[in-house]
Amino acid sequence: MEADFVIVGSGSAGSALAARLSENGQHSVIVLEFGGTDWGPLIRMPGALSYPMNLPRYDWGFVSEPEPHLGGRRLACPRGKVIGGSSSINGMVYVRGHPRDFDHWAEQGADGWAWPDVAPYYQRMEDWHDGGHGGNGDWRGRGGPLHVTRGSRENPLVRAFEDAGVAAGFERTHDYNGEKQEGFGPMDRTIWQGERWSAADAYLKPALRRQNCTLHRCLARRVVIEHGRATGVEVERGGRIEVVRARREVILAASSINSPKLLMLSGIGPGDHLAEHGIEVVADRSGVGRNLQDHLELYIQQASTQPITLFRYWNLAGKAYVGARWLFTRTGPGASNQFEAAGFVRSRAGVDYPDIQFHFLPLAVRYDGKVAAVGHGFQAHVGPMRSLSRGSVTLRSGDAREAPSIRFNYMSEAQDWEDFRHCIRITREIFAAPPFDAYRGDEIQPGPEVQTDDELDAFIREHVESAYHPCGTCRMGRADDPLAVVDPEARVIGVEGLRVADSSIFPRITNGNLNAPSIMVGEKAADHILGRPPLPRDNRQPWINPRWEVSDR
């Protein structure tokens, strides 16, 4: 129970770290994971994505405190409690983020994390298969551990959505993860040969075949810090408390919820808050647990006049057919997450790169599957990407088994409400465009009677949902920044031999889903940990709409 590096968490970043730190055979690595196996059809089958994120076997089951701006609603915050972490229970959507997101990171003090710095790590990690749908392959990676593919796009509604976005005056893009994010086009996903391709599949399982990389199932209780240096992790396993020793470094990759919790349990965080729970202060870092961010989204639903949606499988016989076909052939509807078309647009003139994201689904149903489809319909998930609202993760107690208190403080800025009203109105505009004429029935949600700002706000307050992208709670910045938690090499400021490398170190949330940038953080942090020179910078600039100063499209 001793290694050069001890990694807490086997998720998106943790799996990448385990693989890269162990790949040259010179260093030993122990990965600590509380969750169990990722084997089983509910995880492996992409079409079953709504199940694992709602099962206590696979999900930590976090929920927010009552949200004051959403009528006191408590929103779910699923995090993967399983090998592969949240990459084993997510929607498998692959979005790098916009290059300008990372330039902003660097401006905020994350030196060396601008787009030219991170682009080579995206290329190193990817094995991109364009599926014949085009795109600028020069911007993408080939031969990396993470398979990135596209769906069959056979359902005519998928093409109708893309064409409708263009008909409404927005751009078309053949690869939003390439030079041009802005526009409507195919969705990338982490699915390979009909199965979920998680970070565990890409990185951890190959690493565990090496003699110098092992996985231990246990509950991490705190980081052991002696004379200002992290020397191991105290864990509970089989009812016993023991310490897993780290000869070189401890790396937390336990999620934007559990990483700040572990830091605070270890005495690193806001001094007053730690003292309230009787925890001795090792490093008074007021930024630990602060800066919590997320994406919210709405489901805008339209009835379909043609029986071509996934609703035809929304019955016992249909689900049995989908499941059996996938089980025996790894094909059919079960082999796709069904998010096969995407859109990234700007909310208004003066915004230089997209700040609204669309996922399109040829079914009218909630993401978690809890509300049954009402008949043939389709929907767009839509939401702003860069809310100014900020929340926090704090301790309820000093007990490592107790979930922390999560306060997102959603919709606390007036701009959030304006942005969401705009999201609803432009989605209606897209659904009203000619490419949908052959399919468009009545609006299901919000409903044609919901029109005024007050009516839209009431709908938003009641129906907005998390997109499950929490991040930012151990923000990266310069060492002299009092609110930064880690420096630009992911080292915890004020403690030797301890790093955090997961979505919690994001200075600001990126455009789109967070799995890809979380893996990138693990890839890049590994080079910092090993003292390797960074990969050569890629100085190509992204496409920016020449009309950005005067128009939203």
String of DSSP letters for 477-534: --TT-TT-SB-TT-BBTT-BTEEE-SGGG-SSPPSS-SHHHHHHHHHHHHHHHHTPPP
Token pair, residue 490, equals: 């992911």
Q: Any idea which residue has 């470094």 for tokens?
A: 249
Q: CA-to-CA distance for 39 and 44, rounded, in angstroms?
A: 7
Q: Does residue 233 have a known ligand-binding role?
A: no
Q: Nearest 5°: phi and psi at 124?
A: -65, -35
Q: Does residue 385 have a known ligand-binding role?
A: no
> How far apart, in Å, are the Cα atoms of 189 and each of 54, 91, 370, 482, 509?
21, 8, 23, 38, 19
Q: Does 69 qualify as catalytic in the annotation? A: no
Q: Does residue 282 have a known ligand-binding role?
A: no
Pick the catalytic residue from 27, 376, 469, 528: 469
Q: CA-to-CA distance for 276 and 473, rounded, in angstroms?
A: 20
What region, left, alpha or beta, does residue 377 occupy, with left being phi > 0 and alpha being psi -120 to 50 degrees? Answer: beta
Q: Does residue 212 have a known ligand-binding role?
A: no
Token pair, residue 430, equals: 């897209």
Token pair, residue 532, equals: 């390797």
Q: CA-to-CA distance for 121 and 103, rounded, in angstroms?
A: 15
- Are 296 and 464 in contact by the 8 Å Cβ rule? The answer is yes
Q: Residue 174: in which H helix or E strand, if any?
A: none
Q: Does residue 95 have a known ligand-binding role?
A: no
Nearest Cα to Cα of residue 19 among 35, 33, 5, 38:
5
Return the bridge partners of 360, or none.
Answer: 341, 380
Residues contacting residue 107 through CB under 8 Å, at least 6 positions apart: none
SS3 readout for 378-389 = EEEEEEECCCCC
Q: Catalytic residue positions? A: 469
Binding residues for FAD: 82, 90-93
